[in-house]
Amino acid sequence: MTGFGKAECDLADKKIIVEIKTLNSKLADISLRIPEIYKEKEIEIRYLLASKIQRGKIDFNIFIENCNYVNYTLNKTLAKKYYNELKLLSFELEEHNFSDFLPILIKMPEVLIPEKKQFDEEEWKHVILTIERAIKQLDVFRIYEGKLLEDDFKQRILLIVQLLEKIEPYEIQRIDKLKEQIKKDLDKWFKNEKVDKNRFEQELIYYIGKMDFTEEKVRLKKHCDFFIVTMDEPLSNGKKLGFISQEIGREINTLGSKANDANIQKIIVQMKDELEKIKEQLFNIL
């Protein structure tokens, strides 16, 4: 959702500049800065931005340059008030010789009021076209950023799958270690007692079954494949990718809880690290 777009339009007596900046946000948070003459079109602008950009923190600005107003109205009452306050201030600051108030008064707010022009529908057509061009520029920026994110996601998902494959050698070893450890404990604590071998084998199978994570590995691989397929779909699927990443995280956590092996735990930590980097960037996907 992060991006920037800018477009300009030259009219007979002015130059219209439209700038749009977007940042990450779950909702469409639109902030407008537009000239007074276009205030009546604020709802139309908001609707256009929401429909085209969909969501994000949107900062929208319209600037007018080289606007040649023919007539000005001098607000004499306000100018006199400013004059009296400035004169009093000069005495308080002991600037008794200061008398050049006119250049300051002219620059004071609302002393010179430009003549307001009537809203021009024909002009507004050009403004709308300029806004649409700015949105297109924004989309170009976001498409480029999206391509970078897509490549990054695919690399990290592929790395998670590769890490999953590295678990297999340790998976076999941990079962053998478990058998040895149980036999040692049995010999240590019950060396003088007769042990039912059938019951022992049943208990061993039970614990091995509790440690088996074949299903979790299969589901994790399927979730990773589904993540890649979803990215290749033409429609925007940011929320869907978020849900899939949650499922990937759930399977990784289950693998970690069943690992019972330091080497496998190290691999799990690497997988979690890659997934967290994906989740951070998913906030930037529509």
**pLDDT at residue 231 greater than cutoff 80:** yes
Does residue 184 have a pLDDT over 90?
no
Neighbours of 49 (CB within 10 A): 21
Residues 38 and 136 in one domain: yes
Answer whether residue 99 shows pLDDT above 90. no
Residues 138 and 212 in one domain: no
We report the CATH number of the domain holding residue 39 as 3.30.230
DSSP strand pairing (72-74 vs 112-114)? antiparallel
* 78 plus 53 within the same structural domain: no
163 and 249 co-located in one domain = yes
Q: Tell whether the torsion through CA atoms of 83, 87, 90 and 95 is positive or negative.
A: positive
Q: What pLDDT digit, counting tens, does each position of 253-273 carry?
A: 998 888 878 888 999 999 999
The yes-or-no verdict on residue 145 having pLDDT over 60 is yes
Give the pLDDT score at 72. 72
- What per-residue confidence (pLDDT) applies to 220? 94
How many Cα atoms within 13 Å fall on the side-chain side of residue 2?
10
Q: Would you place residue 185 in the very low, low, confident or very high pLDDT band (cuts 50, 70, 90)?
A: low
Question: Do 128 and 9 reside in the same domain of the chain?
Answer: yes
Q: What is the pLDDT of residue 121?
A: 85
Average pLDDT over residues 99-103: 76
156 three-state secondary structure: helix
- Are residues 50 and 88 located together in one domain of the fold? no
Q: Are residues 81 and 37 in the same domain?
A: no
What gap in Å lies between CA 5 and CA 10, rounded to an integer? 17
pLDDT at residue number 76: 84
Tell me, yes or no, whether 106 and 38 share the same domain: no
Q: How far apart are CA 281 and CA 286, in angstroms?
A: 11
The answer to whether residue 69 scores a pLDDT higher than 60 is no
Mean of the per-residue pLDDT values for the chain?
A: 83
pLDDT of 205 > 70? The answer is: no
Q: pLDDT at position 68, please?
A: 60
Q: What is the pLDDT of residue 204?
A: 67
Range of the domain at 95: 72-113
Half-sphere exposure in the Cβ direction for 114 (13 Å, CA): 10
Q: What number of other Cβ atoms are within 10 A of residue 163's Cβ?
A: 18
d(CA 50, CA 27): 10
Query: 4 has which bridge partners?
Result: 21
Question: Are 33 and 154 within one domain?
Answer: no
Mean pLDDT of the 47-65 span: 88
| Same-domain status, 89 and 148 | no
Is the per-residue pLDDT at 156 higher than 70?
yes
Quick one: 182 exposed, middle or buried, by C-beta within 10 A (0-12, 13-18, 19+)?
A: middle
Q: Where are the alpha helices (DSSP H) in the chain?
A: 42-53, 76-92, 102-107, 121-189, 197-211, 214-231, 238-259, 262-282
pLDDT of residue 200: 65
Q: Are residue 277 and residue 153 in the same domain, yes or no?
A: yes
C-alpha 279/C-alpha 270 separation (Å) is 14
**Number of structural domains, the chain?**
3
- What pLDDT score does 36 carry? 82
Query: Higher-confidence residue: 58 or 234?
Result: 58
**Mean pLDDT computed over 45-68:** 86
Claim to verify: residue 148 and residue 136 sit in the same structural domain:
no
- In the chain, pLDDT over 70 holds for what percent of residues? 84
The pLDDT, as a whole number, for residue 116 is: 65
